Amino acid sequence: MVTPTGAATGARAAGSTPAVVIAAPSSGSGKTTVTTGLIGALRAAGHRVAPFKVGPDYIDPGYHAVAAGRPGRNLDPNLVGAERIAPLFAHGAAGADIAVVEGVMGLFDGRIVESGTADEADPLGVGSTAHVASIIGAPVILVVDAAGHSQSLAAVLHGFLSYDPTVSIAGVILNRVGSPRHEMVLRQAAGRVGLPVLGVLRRHPSLTVPSRHLGLIPAAERNADAVAAVDAMTAHLRGALDLPAIVAAARGRSAPDATPWSAAEAVAPHRSIDPAGSPVVAVAGGAAFTFGYTEHAEMLTAAGARVVVFDPLVDRLPADAAGVVIGGGFPEEHAEALAANDLLRADLRAHAAAGRPIHAECAGLLYLCAQLDGHPMSGVLDIPGHFGPTLTLGYRDAVAVSDSVLFRTGERVTGHEFHRSGVGDGPLAPAWAWRDTAGRASTHGVTTASVHASYLHLHPASIPEALCRFVARAAEVSPARSSSRAGNTAGTS
C-alpha cells in the first residue's frame, strides 16, 4: 500500500512538493496514457496530485484534470521565460503532496532553432522536457514503446542516461510489451545499464484515446466518455506500475528555492482600476472552445474582472459582459451549432460595435469571422474563415504592429501557432509581424477599435500588462457603468 506523502505531516510547502517527470525517447510512446493513469492511480491511493504538462499543449492537461480532480497546468519556458517555471510550478503544486509532469515529444526535444544559432555546448533543448526537469529539480521516468525492442534496448537507455548526466533518470516504464518472455528480455536490458523498471504495460486496446487532425479529442468534448477513458487508464496503470517506487523517486526531487507565482503580484505594477468596478469578462467555454490556460482566469480576476464562463453553442452573451475572451478549440467540429445560435452572434456584433473589448485566439479568430466554410459565424470581422489540410505549427517571436485593446505598437511576445485553418484578407489592421523560417517578414491577425484576434496563443503569465489594459478598457465601457451614468443623468434633469 502507498502512504500519501502528506498524510502524516500535512500538505508540504509547494516549493518542496515531491515530483516526477514522465518523458519518452520520442512522441507516440504513450506518455499521456501513462501520465493520466499514474495521476489517477496516485489519487486513488489517497494522494493529492498536482498535474502539469511541458509545452503549450492544451489537450493533455484536460485529461490530467479529470484524473487529478484539479486543474492541469502548463510549464513552457518558451512562452513564459525559464525564470517563471519554478514559481509557476510552486503555484500549481500548492496543496498537493505529489506532482506529476508530462513531458513533450522526446526528452531532449525543444524549440527548433535555425542552423548555426543553437548553443552546441548545451544539450538541453530550450523548452524541452529535460530543460523543465532541470529547472524544477525533478527526476525523470522514461516511457519506452517496447514494441520492436529487444536486447538493444540497453543501448537506447544507455544513450539517454549518458547524454546529459545533469538530468536524473530514475527508472523506465515499458509500454506495449508483447509477452512474458518479451518482458524478461526487456528487464534484462534495463538491468544492464542499472535502470529500474517501474512499470510494465501490455498492449491494451481499451487504453487508446480517440484523436483527429490536431491530436487527441479534448476531454471537455467527450464528457462521460473522457471520464470512462480516464477510469480505464487508472485501473490499468494502478496494477501495472510500482507506485511505492515512483513515490520514492518523486521524494528525491532536488527542489529549487522558488517563491510561488502570484497572479495578484504579477498584475500589481500594471493594474489601474478600482476593484469595486469588477467589470464582467465573459470567457467562452463548452465543447467548441476548450483551449485555455488556468492562469488566464486567475490573472483577469487579479486585474479586477469578474470572470463568467459561457458556452457559445447554447448560451447568449451575459447581458453585463464588458469584455469577451474567446480562446482556442475546434469550431469546425461544431460549425452548425455555432451558426444556429444567431442570438449570440448578434450579441457579439453589438458588443464590438459598442466598443467593448474582445480578445480572440485561433478558434476565437475563426468564430469572429463572417463565415467558416459556408457556415455563418459571428460576423464581428468581415472576413471569411476556412479549414484546410496544411498544419501550421511552431513558436513565433512577434511584435505588435498596431495599438489594440491588449497591446501597444512595438511590444514583443513569444507565442505558439497550432492550426489547420486560415482566414481571408480584409481592410483591417494586422495584429502582429514576425519572420518566417526563411527570414521573410509577414503580418498576422487582426485588430479593430475593440478587437484583438490572431492565431497566436499566448500564456497569460507572460503578458500581465496587456491583460490589465484589457480589463481597464472593459471597465471604461462596462454596461453597468453606462447604466449608472444614464441614471445619474436622469436624476439631475
Which positions are catalytic?
A: 362
Q: In degrees rounded to 5, what are phi and psi of residue 423? A: -130, 155
Half-sphere exposure in the Cβ direction for 482 (13 Å, CA) = 11
Rg of the chain in Å (alpha carbons): 24
Pairing of strands 371-372, 375-376: antiparallel
Residue listed under C-alpha cell 534495463? 190
First to last CA, the chain: 76
Q: Tell me how far apart the alpha carbons of residues 196 and 267 are, in angstroms, rounded to a whole number.
A: 45
Unique residue bearing C-alpha cell 467527450: 222
- Cell output for 203: 498492449
Are residues 96 and 72 in contact, defined by beta-carbon separation less than 8 angstroms?
no
The amino acid present at 392, given as its one-letter code, is T
Strands 306-310 and 451-454: unpaired
Report the distance separating Cα 242 and Cα 179, nearest Å: 19
Q: Which residues pair with 419 in a beta bridge?
A: 392
Contact status, residue 45 vs residue 243, Cβ threshold 8 Å: yes
